[in-house]
Amino acid sequence: LTAPSVLFDAVLVPAGAAAAQALQRDGQAVHFVLEAFKHCKPLCMVGESVDILRRAGVLPEDGPVPAGVVVGTNEPTARLQMAQDFIAAIGKHRHWARALVDRAPA
Protein backbone atom coordinates (compact mmCIF):
# COMPACT_ATOMS: atom_id res chain seq x y z
CA LEU A 1 0.00 0.00 0.00
CA THR A 2 2.90 2.38 0.54
CA ALA A 3 5.02 1.80 -2.57
CA PRO A 4 4.20 2.34 -6.24
CA SER A 5 4.82 -0.46 -8.71
CA VAL A 6 7.53 1.56 -10.43
CA LEU A 7 9.83 0.73 -7.51
CA PHE A 8 9.70 -2.95 -8.46
CA ASP A 9 11.39 -4.66 -11.40
CA ALA A 10 8.51 -7.02 -12.15
CA VAL A 11 5.11 -8.13 -10.90
CA LEU A 12 3.79 -11.66 -10.47
CA VAL A 13 0.11 -12.11 -9.63
CA PRO A 14 -0.60 -15.70 -8.52
CA ALA A 15 -3.64 -17.79 -9.42
CA GLY A 16 -6.72 -18.39 -7.35
CA ALA A 17 -10.29 -17.44 -8.25
CA ALA A 18 -11.15 -15.94 -4.86
CA ALA A 19 -7.89 -13.98 -4.69
CA ALA A 20 -8.27 -12.71 -8.27
CA GLN A 21 -11.80 -11.51 -7.56
CA ALA A 22 -10.68 -9.77 -4.37
CA LEU A 23 -7.83 -8.03 -6.20
CA GLN A 24 -10.18 -6.87 -8.96
CA ARG A 25 -12.36 -5.19 -6.32
CA ASP A 26 -9.34 -3.45 -4.80
CA GLY A 27 -8.66 -0.26 -6.72
CA GLN A 28 -5.14 0.06 -5.31
CA ALA A 29 -4.24 -3.46 -6.42
CA VAL A 30 -5.63 -2.89 -9.92
CA HIS A 31 -3.79 0.44 -10.15
CA PHE A 32 -0.54 -1.23 -9.02
CA VAL A 33 -0.75 -3.84 -11.80
CA LEU A 34 -1.84 -1.35 -14.48
CA GLU A 35 0.88 1.10 -13.49
CA ALA A 36 3.49 -1.66 -13.87
CA PHE A 37 1.96 -2.51 -17.26
CA LYS A 38 2.05 1.13 -18.36
CA HIS A 39 5.69 1.44 -17.30
CA CYS A 40 6.52 -1.60 -19.45
CA LYS A 41 7.56 -3.75 -16.50
CA PRO A 42 7.48 -7.54 -16.89
CA LEU A 43 4.24 -9.08 -15.63
CA CYS A 44 3.37 -12.70 -14.92
CA MET A 45 -0.35 -13.29 -14.60
CA VAL A 46 -1.13 -16.81 -13.42
CA GLY A 47 -4.53 -18.40 -13.92
CA GLU A 48 -7.50 -16.22 -13.04
CA SER A 49 -5.31 -13.21 -12.21
CA VAL A 50 -5.13 -12.44 -15.94
CA ASP A 51 -8.67 -11.08 -15.65
CA ILE A 52 -7.24 -7.98 -13.97
CA LEU A 53 -5.67 -6.99 -17.31
CA ARG A 54 -8.59 -8.21 -19.40
CA ARG A 55 -11.21 -6.25 -17.47
CA ALA A 56 -9.05 -3.15 -17.64
CA GLY A 57 -9.06 -3.48 -21.43
CA VAL A 58 -5.30 -3.79 -21.91
CA LEU A 59 -5.26 -7.51 -22.68
CA PRO A 60 -7.61 -8.84 -25.34
CA GLU A 61 -9.61 -12.02 -24.75
CA ASP A 62 -8.25 -13.44 -28.00
CA GLY A 63 -5.16 -12.26 -29.74
CA PRO A 64 -1.53 -11.61 -29.02
CA VAL A 65 -0.27 -11.06 -25.52
CA PRO A 66 1.69 -7.80 -25.22
CA ALA A 67 5.47 -7.98 -24.95
CA GLY A 68 6.71 -8.67 -21.45
CA VAL A 69 3.43 -10.13 -20.22
CA VAL A 70 3.57 -13.82 -19.35
CA VAL A 71 0.18 -15.49 -19.01
CA GLY A 72 0.39 -18.88 -17.39
CA THR A 73 -1.64 -21.56 -15.76
CA ASN A 74 -1.26 -23.22 -12.41
CA GLU A 75 -0.83 -26.62 -14.06
CA PRO A 76 2.29 -28.39 -12.76
CA THR A 77 3.43 -29.30 -16.28
CA ALA A 78 3.34 -25.65 -17.40
CA ARG A 79 5.03 -24.06 -14.40
CA LEU A 80 8.63 -24.55 -15.54
CA GLN A 81 8.04 -22.94 -18.94
CA MET A 82 6.09 -20.09 -17.34
CA ALA A 83 8.94 -19.46 -14.89
CA GLN A 84 11.52 -19.51 -17.68
CA ASP A 85 9.46 -17.09 -19.77
CA PHE A 86 9.06 -14.74 -16.81
CA ILE A 87 12.78 -14.85 -16.01
CA ALA A 88 13.54 -14.01 -19.66
CA ALA A 89 11.07 -11.10 -19.50
CA ILE A 90 12.71 -9.83 -16.31
CA GLY A 91 16.10 -10.07 -18.04
CA LYS A 92 14.97 -7.49 -20.60
CA HIS A 93 13.96 -5.15 -17.74
CA ARG A 94 11.50 -3.06 -19.78
CA HIS A 95 9.35 -3.93 -22.78
CA TRP A 96 9.19 -0.72 -24.78
CA ALA A 97 7.43 -2.35 -27.72
CA ARG A 98 4.26 -2.93 -25.71
CA ALA A 99 1.60 -1.85 -28.17
CA LEU A 100 -1.23 -1.10 -25.73
CA VAL A 101 0.72 0.94 -23.20
CA ASP A 102 -1.24 4.14 -23.96
CA ARG A 103 -4.51 2.37 -23.18
CA ALA A 104 -3.55 1.53 -19.61
CA PRO A 105 -5.62 3.75 -17.31
CA ALA A 106 -2.92 4.03 -14.64
Instruction: Assess whether pLDDT exceeds 80 at residue 106.
Output: no
Q: What is the pTM of this model?
A: 0.86
Asked if residue 56 lies in contact with residue 101, where contact means CB atoms within 8 angstroms, the answer is no
What was the pLDDT predicted at 101?
60
Q: At what angle do helices 27-38 and 17-25 cross, to 10 degrees?
A: 90
Distances (CA, A) of 22 to 3, 10, 57: 20, 21, 18
pLDDT in tens, 31-89: 899 989 988 999 999 999 999 888 888 888 887 888 889 999 888 899 999 999 999 99
Distances (CA, A) of 17 to 25, 52, 61: 13, 11, 17
pLDDT in tens, 92-102: 988 887 756 66
Give the residue-averaged pLDDT of 9-14: 92
* Rounded Cα gap, residues 8 and 3, in angstroms: 9
